[in-house]
Amino acid sequence: MPVLPSIPYASLGADVLAGNQALIPFLGAGASIAGAPPSTVPVPNYPADSEIDELATRWGLSGAGLEHLKQGIRQAFDLQNYEDHEPDWMEIAGQKPYPPSARELANALAANVSYHGSWPYSLLPVSSYHEFVRGRDPHRKDLESLFAGKTHPLPSQDLIARAARHHLRNTKRDYLVITTNYDQLIELAFDAAKVPYVVLTVGRKQHHVTVRPSASLQAWFGFSNEDFEDLQQGLKGKQPALFTLPPVSSRKPVAVIYKMHGCLFPPAGTTDDSIILSDEDYIAFLKRQGESGDGVIPAAVTRLMQNEGQANTGFLFLGYSFSDWNVRAMYRTIIDQRALTKDVRDYAVVSWVNDFESQYLSQPTINVCVADLVKFAAEIKRRAEPAAWSDTPSLW
């Protein structure tokens, strides 16, 4: 569909906070930075538009030529600012209380290995070069240092944690969340809301599904140490197409967090990392995906996407730009796996839409909502039924 002229907060809020999951949250990088305090990264002292207009007049530039000049000058100032602070980018990104943006992450990794490709730096090729220079393990440890200590969930994660809690209060089905973020903000939001969960990732080399349970999961299930250990052992070493969770008839429902591009903080003893960040990672990911997607998406996730064989469930995309080819490839993967039916509609909440996105998002399956994520979460909360947002009754 084209961009919605107005956001149907009432009906959308009813779907987001439905007692039985009607929309599957799909969280991108924007969800982990929307609402964060202003960055401490130095900002260039750009020239005034009037100064650029004066140059353009002198050189006889107007229209597209003038706009190109403005963009080029801003990029030149950005590059100079990067070079002026090059030794500090790793420290700047690492000390932030919130995860770095894609631009900040690219700058930090580039500075760490003296990368000087075409400006502005793009994260995927920079990450590839960083891994080539540093090696896979040091590369992953550098990433960990940039994401460690980020412990403050933002409005998007809080909204989804409350939606999961309301779902688990009212149904016997698991609640699914999908994210491509490497940080732990969604888990921290679930911990704060006292929502039990499991995190699923898929290793890059052996392609086994790794399960990380929340600290509260054993108590939530009411399992003895022996039974809980048996459960965890029974889930180890499985390929995505063969990975299922025990039926809810034998346990309480939980939130299932599928980290599609991996997690920087796996369970202790994990030897096969799951991070998808470089060009080579994405190529391997797409190759493994195959036609059906069952090489990367655990069967347990597919079953929840397909609503256990009942009516399919839509997606709620938060914090993505569909200008990125990897986001579009990911969307195609899950759409193909979901076996889309005509009555399913997805929603994408974006801060703005460029010309390419306006065409791509015009396909009939996506409802586009142009809104700041903080405002979006606040408006959903304002219209929520008190029972859906309330901390009581507790799940426990």
Give me the residues paired with residue 259 across strands: 179
Give the residue extent of every domain in the chain. Answer: 9-35+154-384, 49-147
The three-class DSSP label of residue 199 is strand
The tokens for 290 are 């195959």
How far apart (Å, rounded) are the C-alpha atoms in residues 315 and 178?
A: 9
How far apart (Å, rounded) are the C-alpha atoms in residues 71 and 60?
A: 17
How far apart (Å, rounded) are the C-alpha atoms in residues 36 and 156?
A: 11
Q: Which residue has the tokens 């859906």?
A: 388
Q: Which residues contact 60 (CB under 8 A, 6 or more apart)?
A: none
How far apart (Å, rounded) are the C-alpha atoms in residues 12 and 372?
A: 15
R_g (Cα) of the chain, nearest Å: 22
Angle at 142 between CA 333 and CA 100, to 5 degrees: 65
| C-beta separation of 276 from 296 below 8 A | no
Q: Which residues contact 244 (CB under 8 A, 6 or more apart)?
A: 298, 299, 300, 303
Alpha-carbon 181 to chain mean position? 4
Angle at 97 between CA 270 and CA 378, to 5 degrees: 105
pTM summary value = 0.91
At 381, the amino acid letter reads K
Q: Which residues contact 303 (CB under 8 A, 6 or more apart)?
A: 244, 309
pLDDT tens, per residue, the chain with 396 residues: 567 788 999 889 888 988 788 899 999 999 999 988 877 667 889 999 999 999 999 999 999 999 999 999 999 998 898 888 777 888 888 888 899 988 889 999 999 999 988 888 999 999 999 999 999 999 999 999 999 989 999 999 999 999 999 999 999 999 999 999 999 999 999 999 999 999 999 998 888 999 999 999 999 999 999 999 999 999 999 999 999 999 998 999 999 999 999 999 888 777 788 999 888 888 888 888 765 556 789 999 988 988 765 566 889 999 998 877 777 877 877 777 665 555 678 899 998 888 888 787 776 678 889 999 999 999 999 888 888 888 887 777
So what's the pLDDT on residue 312? Answer: 64
What CATH class has 9-35+154-384?
alpha beta
So what's the pLDDT on residue 140? Answer: 93
Q: Which residue has the tokens 């990392």?
A: 273
358-366 CB contacts, 8 Å cutoff, 24+ apart: 358/2, 358/3, 360/322, 360/328, 361/1, 361/2, 361/3, 361/322, 362/1, 362/2, 363/1, 364/1, 365/335, 365/340, 366/1
How far apart (Å, rounded) are the C-alpha atoms in residues 366 and 360?
A: 9
Give me the residues paired with residue 35 across strands: none
Work out whether the CA dihedral 366, 369, 373, 377 comes out positive or negative: negative
| Closest by CA position to 347, among listed 76, 113, 5, 7 | 7
At 335, the amino acid letter reads I
